[in-house]
Structure 1
Amino acid sequence: MGTKAERRVAATLVSAYHEARLNELVARVADAVDRHRAGELDAFEVDKVIHRYQRAARQLWTFCGQSGAEVELAAHTIRRMAEDGVAVDWWERGGTRH
């Protein structure tokens, strides 16, 4: 486990990542609601999108951890993904059961 300052930096990175990915997921729900209002999707189709959002957001929350070593591990992983040009498609992950 790193120093208090290192944990704070890790927590800030993970929080920013979490918020950015949540914004992407919420945009999917907003799009579905807009399409429902326009008559393109029925209520059941929107409901499927909302359930998928819930699964994806839960997996994202689990990945990001909440404290201590979990946050530091998540921060390390986020840094490595950025260096390697790898991105997790949380929406896709929400479509399957793990």
Structure 2
Amino acid sequence: MSSKSERRAAREAVAEYHQAQLAALVQHVGEAVDRFRAGQLDVFEVDQVVFHYGRAAKELWKFCNASDVEFTTSLIGNGPPVDWWERGAPRRR
């Protein structure tokens, strides 16, 4: 069993990871809005990006809020990087 300070450190590591990954996801939305303002995307295309963002952010939230924060920290540090944008891609029919 880990100590209270180890769990606190793990929670902080996951929070930092969550913040960094969420910022990367928000970047996609910002780019879409910029392209909309430049006339490169229509409002429906921006809406699709916002929808995609919501799905990706939800997947990231589920990962970062798993019950075993120390296991999550080990996945962040030792596992392959996760492309949360890709993970949130809408399913094609």
Distance of 1:71 and 1:62 partners within structure 2 = 12
Partner of 1:87: 81
Conserved in 2, the CA contact under 8 Å of 1:22 and 1:57? yes
Conserved in 2, the CA contact under 8 Å of 1:59 and 1:90? yes
Conserved in 2, the CA contact under 8 Å of 1:13 and 1:75? yes
Distance of 1:25 and 1:48 partners within structure 2 = 14
Residue by residue over 1:3-25, the C-alpha shift from the partner in whole angstroms, topping out at 9 and shown as x without a partner, is 11010110111011000000000
Give the C-alpha shift of residue 71 in structure 1.
Answer: 1.4
Partner of 1:71: 69
1:8 aligned counterpart, secondary structure: helix
Residue by residue over 1:29-58, the C-alpha shift from the partner in whole angstroms, topping out at 9 and shown as x without a partner, is 000000000000000000000000000000
Counting helix residues as a fraction of each chain, which structure ranks higher? 1
TM-score, with structure 2 as normaliser: 0.91
The share of aligned pairs that are identical, in percent, is 52
Paired residues for 1:1-98 under 5 Å: 1-65=1-65, 69-81=67-79, 86-97=80-91
The count of aligned residue pairs is 91
Deviating above 4 A after TM superposition, structure 1's stretches of 4 or more consecutive aligned residues are none
- Give the AA of the match of 1:18: H
Give the C-alpha shift of residue 70 in structure 1.
Answer: 2.2
Note the residue ranges of structure 2 that are not aligned, 5 or more in a row.
Answer: none
